[in-house]
Amino acid sequence: MLTKGDIADVISEYLLRGPRSCAGAVTAKASRPLPKRVFISDWELKKLVKPGQKAVKVSAADIISPLSMDWLDYNGIEVIRE
């Protein structure tokens, strides 16, 4: 019988090797690098915002979770995207 650890090992090995059907496929390079996107959860956002702060700066490519947006709106904190 397979355990959770066994299944995780099989999946990780498959992902590291990649599917065999794509071995001969040609990959196209992007013309420009994509911006790094960071997902900001409510827990991480609460660490960023200091007590009494009315604005928080994040990168333009960052993704803020809906729960974080609700928390910011409830506390009257403005999001400034750079």
The pLDDT averaged over each successive group of 10 residues in the chain (82 residues) is 80 71 50 72 88 91 92 93 90
Q: What are the residue boundaries of the structural domains of the chain, listed by start?
A: 4-81
Q: Which of 26, 60, 10, 24 is nearest to 40 (CA)?
A: 60
Longest pairwise C-alpha distance within the chain: 57
Assigned token pair, 36 = 């790094």
Taking the model in full, what pTM does it have? 0.54
The pLDDT score that the predictor gives to residue 48 is: 86
Q: How far apart are CA 58 and CA 56, in angstroms?
A: 7
Amino acid in position 21: S
**Does residue 62 contact residue 38 with C-beta atoms inside 8 Å?**
yes
